[in-house]
Every structure is written in structure tokens, then in C-alpha cells.
A and B are shown apart, each in its own frame.
Chain A
Amino acid sequence: QQQVKQSPQSLIVQKGGISIINCAYENTAFDYFPWYQQFPGKGPALLIAIRPDVSEKKEGRFTISFNKSAKQFSLHIMDSQPGDSATYFCAASVTGGGNKLTFGTGTQLKVEL
């Protein structure tokens, strides 16, 4: 199974709130889990990534939580800002398998003032 399931499809958060996006995967061979951010008219850009040897990774206001046994990972955006309004994609790949990313379906985040 190569699918990566992502939820929710859309999310509205108040400025200063926490945005949470969840993903689940089936392929236990996946060993690289990045999150990409995409603004309208632009290509996706890497935001943060994690490998399964750690359960959490934090970079600034962005945190990935990883649950290997549940085959789930999530993105938390703390102190959400209007500039964070974008579409977020989770993805997964197998190192040594060509690093071909399998993307989730995306979450459209809107941060309101």
C-alpha cells in the first residue's frame, strides 16, 4: 500500500491558535516523512521532516509528532499566523527507493485574525 491518508481537508484557525494536521500510512517500509507547504501559484516547499527513529521534531513553531506503532504522524503549528495560510501536504518515501515521495491529499489551512 503506497497511500498516505491526510485529514482534515480544510482547517480554519484563529490567529495565535494551534493548527493540527494528521496523516496515516500503510507501507511500513516508509522511513522518511516530510511536510510540504504550498502557496497558491507556487510549488511545494519543504517545511519540516522526520525519520522514524525519533517521536518528535520541532523547528520553531512547527512540530512533527510521529507514532510508529500506529503508523501515524502529525504536524502541529503553534501560534498560527495569517502568513501560515497555505495548503499543507504530508508525504512519505523509502530511502534508497529513489526517494519518490507519496503525497497526502492536502489540507487547506486558513488562519483568521
Chain B
Amino acid sequence: EAGVAQSPRYKIIEKRQSVAFWCNPISGHATLYWYQQILGQGPKLLIQFQNNGVVDDSQLPKDRFSAERLKGVDSTLKIQPAKLEDSAVYLCASSPAGTGELFFGEGSRLTVL
């Protein structure tokens, strides 16, 4: 079974530039999550999708972050404009219905200079 795919794995940008990350969840997983993991910290939830719809985006900085889930499958997370403090690993995870187990991708590491 293929795991959660994320791209790009690494991205370096200047502050105030924009960046987009892509995630392809495990086939059949209805729930998709984006987490932000700052170095030395635990992952922090940014947004949760159930199929096409947003379940929770309360911790998403909506003035600069946006996310969408296309046709209930792939998802993109965009940051515009980026700030220095956005430097982190952005983890995508998916979960099958009815379980609490999250399957994580390898993450996209963002460095903002």
C-alpha cells in the first residue's frame, strides 16, 4: 500500500515570497490533516479536511495560509507571503474513517530566509 506522498521535500524561499505544498493521501482515506512541525517541537495541527470539507482550521493563520482539498483526494497548502517564523516541516497525514490512527508523509521542509 502506498503511503502519504508529499512534494516538494525541500524548499528555500525569501521572506514575502509564496510557496505551495502538495499532498496525496493514502487511497480511500477520507480525512486529511496538515501539521506544522517547528524544529524541536511536536507537530501542531493547521487544518483538517473530511472529504472536501474543512472540519477544523482554527489554528491556520488565514491571513497568509490557505489550503484546499481537490475532489476529496489531493490537497495543497499555500503560504503567501512567507515569514521567517514559517520555517518548519509541513506534514500531511491521512486517516481512514472510524479510526484514530494518522498516517504521516515524510514532510516538506521549508526554510524562509
Partners in one complex: yes
- Chain A residues near B (Cβ < 8 Å): 4, 6, 32, 34, 36, 41-46, 49, 89, 91, 93, 95, 98-106
Decide if B95 is an interface residue (CB 8 Å cutoff).
Answer: yes
Is there an interface contact between A43 and B104, defined as CB atoms closer than 8 Å?
Answer: yes
Q: Whole-angstrom distance from the CB of A59 to the nearest CB of chain B?
A: 14
Is there an interface contact between B101 and A49, defined as CB atoms closer than 8 Å?
Answer: yes
Contacts of A100 in B (CB 8 A): 33, 45, 48, 56
Q: A41 with B106: in contact, given A98-B55, A99-B31, A103-B43 (CB under 8 Å)? A: yes
Bound-state CA distance A101–B99 (Å) is: 12
Total interface residues in chain B, CB < 8 Å: 25
Q: A34 with B101: in contact, given A99-B31, A99-B95, A103-B42 (CB under 8 Å)? A: yes
Bound-state CA distance A39–B107 (Å) is: 12
Q: A101 with B45: in contact, given A43-B105, A43-B107, A44-B104 (CB under 8 Å)? A: yes
Is there an interface contact between B42 and A106, defined as CB atoms closer than 8 Å?
Answer: yes
Decide if B4 is an interface residue (CB 8 Å cutoff).
Answer: yes
Is there an interface contact between A43 and B4, defined as CB atoms closer than 8 Å?
Answer: yes
Q: Which A residue's beta carbon lies closest to that of B105?
A: A43
Is there an interface contact between B100 and A99, defined as CB atoms closer than 8 Å?
Answer: yes
The interface centre, meaning the residue of A6, A49, A101, A106 with most chain B CB atoms within 10 A of its CB, is: A101
Q: Which A residue's beta carbon lies closest to that of B44?
A: A103
Is there an interface contact between B56 and A46, defined as CB atoms closer than 8 Å?
Answer: no
Q: Whole-angstrom distance from the CB of A60 to the nearest CB of chain B?
A: 18
Decide if B91 is an interface residue (CB 8 Å cutoff).
Answer: yes
Bound-state CA distance A80–B43 (Å) is: 25
Contacts of A103 in B (CB 8 A): 42-44
Is there an interface contact between B48 and A105, defined as CB atoms closer than 8 Å?
Answer: no
